[in-house]
Structure 1
Amino acid sequence: MINIKNLCFSYSNKPPYALNNINLTIPDGVYLSIIGENGSCKTTLIKLILGILKPNLGSIEISTNNIGYVPQRLDSFNSQFPITVKEVLSCHKKSLKNKNINILDILKIVNMNDYKNKLLGMLSGGQQQRVLIARALMGNPDIIILDEPSTGVDEINQKEIYSILRKLNKENKKTIISIEHNINIALENSTHILRINNGEVKLYTVEEYKKIRNNNLDLDNVI
C-alpha cells in the first residue's frame, strides 16, 4: 500500500539528511507502530507520507488517496469555545464528498454516542482523542495515521482507544500507522514495528521484535 524508495529528507534541503536513503514497503492491512528516540523523525516520516512535507530525494507511492489523520491533541482548540461533539463532526461533514454519513453511527464506533451533546472542551483528553478518531473515520479511510494517541490519556481511555484501533484493523481491515512512545503499548496492539534510528528504518513483525528484545540483542546494531 505504501512504497518508499530511496527517500532522503532534511529540513535544510541538503545533507546531512535526517532520514537517509529510506527504502520501505508497508503492506496493506497491517497495524504498524513507529518507535524511536525523541528527535528520531517519527513525526517527520508520517508528515512525508501524508504529503505535508516533500522528500528532498526519492519517492513515496501510496495506493490510495483516502487517508485519515488523527493528530496528537487539540492544540489549537479553544476549550472555552461552546461547540458540542456532534457539531464538531457536523462541521467536518460539510467538507466531505459523501454527505450521507451518519454521525451517530460513527460515534458508536468510538463509544462516544452518549457524549454527542457534550461540549468538546469539557471532555477528558482521552474522550477528545476518540472524537478525533471519529472525525478521521468519517471519510471511511483505507489508512488511519495517528500521532501518539495515548499521550496525555488516562489508562481507562488508553484501553478504550487501543481496543477501537485493534477492531478497526482486524474487523474493518483498516491499515493503522501509529507513532508510539510506549514500546509495551506498541507490542501489545500492533502487528508490525517500525524502528527509526539515526535516520534509518527497520521493519519487524511484533514476534521478530519481541525475540530480539528477549535475547537482549543490541537493536542499534540490528537496525
Structure 2
Amino acid sequence: MSYIICKDVAFAYENQIVVSGLSFQVDAGDYLCIIGENGTGKTTLMKGLLGLKKPYRGTIVTGDGLKSAEIGYVPQQDAVQRDFPASVYEVVLSGCLNSRGMKPGFGAEEKKRALGNMELLNISGLKNKSFQDLSGGQRQRVLLARSLCATKRLLLLDEPVTGLDPVAAEEFYGVLDALNGKHRITIIMISHDIREAVEHADHILHLSHGGYYFGTTQDYEKSSLGKKFLGGLTDA
C-alpha cells in the first residue's frame, strides 16, 4: 500500500517555482533518499510531505490510513536543539505528545514506549544526561528515538548525518538500515551524499534544475543522471 502519493506537484518559494511536475509514490517498507543540488527544492518538498507547506500545484495525499500525527520527523540539528535544556528521557518522551491529544501529562504506555525506543537505539544509559551535553551522534539517536515515539510506520529525516564524524555517520546509517529492514519502518531521507544514498536506499528521488529522476536505486545507477553524479559515464 502507498503511504504517500504525489501527483504533478509544484512548489513555489518567494514567488519562484523550485519544484515542478513532480510525481512519485512511497509504499510501505520503502527506503527513499531525496538527493540533488542546492536550490532544487529538497527541503521545500519535505515541508510539503509533512503538511507544513501547500503545493503551488498538484496534490500530495496519504494512503493506507496514514495520519499526519503518525509521521516521525528528524530535522536538521541546529543551535536551538543542541542547547535544549532537558534530559534525554524528557526529549524522547516528548515524541508522544501528538498521540496524547488534549490529555494532560504522559501515561504509563507513553513512558514504556519512550524507554523501549531508547533501548532499541542503545541510549538507555544516557537517560538522565542533559541533551545539550551529548555528542552529535548521541543527539541524533535521541532525536530518532523521539521520532519513533510518534510513529511505527513512517520516518522523515532531513540530512540527519550533517556535522557527524564519519564513524558516527556510518553508525547512524546502520541504525536506519535496521529500522527499515528488521522493523519495516518506511524511511524518506534527504541526503547530500549521493554515494551513501545509493548504498543504503532502495529508491532514489534526484531533484535537479532540469527535471528529476524517481525509481529504484539499481535503475538510478544505470541512468544518465546517476552515472553523471556518481562519476561514471554520462551516456545512458
TM-score by length of 1: 0.88
- 1:84 paired with 2:61, answer no
| C-alpha RMSD of the superposition | 2.0
Larger helix percent: 2
| SS across alignment from 2:10 | strand
Instruction: Report the more deviating stretch, 92-101 or 60-69.
Output: 92-101
- 1:71 paired with 2:70, answer no
Following TM superposition, by how much is the alpha carbon of 1:12 offset from its aligned partner in structure 2, in angstroms?
3.9
**Runs of 5+ unmatched residues, structure 1:** none
The amino acid of 1:67's aligned partner reads: I
Following TM superposition, by how much is the alpha carbon of 1:27 offset from its aligned partner in structure 2, in angstroms?
2.3
Q: How does 1:11-26 map to 2 (within 5 A)?
A: 11-13=13-15, 17-26=17-26
2:201 counterpart residue number: 190
CA offsets 1:151-190 (integer angstroms, 9 cap, x no match) = 0011222122111111111111111000001112111111
Q: Give the direction of change, closer, same or farther, for the CA distance of 1:74–1:12 in structure 2 (3 Å limit).
A: closer
1:216 counterpart residue number: 233
The amino acid of 1:9's aligned partner reads: F
Instruction: Report the more deviating stretch, 89-98 or 148-157.
Output: 89-98
CA offsets 1:17-37 (integer angstroms, 9 cap, x no match) = 211121212222111111100
Following TM superposition, by how much is the alpha carbon of 1:62 offset from its aligned partner in structure 2, in angstroms?
1.0
- 2-structure distance, mates of 1:130, 1:80: 15
The amino acid of 2:221's aligned partner reads: K
| SS across alignment from 1:17 | strand
Q: Give the direction of change, closer, same or farther, for the CA distance of 1:209–1:46 in structure 2 (3 Å limit).
A: same
Match of 1:10 among 12, 22, 27: 12
CA contact (8 A) 1:145 1:178 kept: yes
CA contact (8 A) 2:82 2:131 kept: no
- 2-structure distance, mates of 1:30, 1:80: 32
2:30 counterpart residue number: 30
- 2-structure distance, mates of 1:41, 1:120: 31
Q: How does 1:124-163 map to 2 (within 5 A)?
A: 124-163=135-174
Following TM superposition, by how much is the alpha carbon of 1:78 offset from its aligned partner in structure 2, in angstroms?
6.0
- 1-structure distance, mates of 2:211, 2:199: 24
| SS across alignment from 1:164 | helix
Q: Give the direction of change, closer, same or farther, for the CA distance of 1:34–1:92 in structure 2 (3 Å limit).
A: closer
1:105 counterpart residue number: 116
Q: Give the direction of change, closer, same or farther, for the CA distance of 1:199–1:3 in structure 2 (3 Å limit).
A: farther
Q: Percent same amino acid at aligned positions?
A: 37
- 1-structure distance, mates of 2:205, 2:19: 14
| SS across alignment from 1:51 | coil
Following TM superposition, by how much is the alpha carbon of 1:71 offset from its aligned partner in structure 2, in angstroms?
0.3
Q: Structure 1 stretches (4+) deviating beyond 4 angstroms?
A: none
The amino acid of 1:69's aligned partner reads: Y
Following TM superposition, by how much is the alpha carbon of 1:5 offset from its aligned partner in structure 2, in angstroms?
1.1
Count how many residue pairs are aligned between Structure 1 and Structure 2. 216
CA offsets 1:186-214 (integer angstroms, 9 cap, x no match) = 11111111100116321131112223427
Q: Give the direction of change, closer, same or farther, for the CA distance of 1:93–1:75 in structure 2 (3 Å limit).
A: same
Q: Give the direction of change, closer, same or farther, for the CA distance of 1:79–1:28 in structure 2 (3 Å limit).
A: same
TM-score by length of 2: 0.84
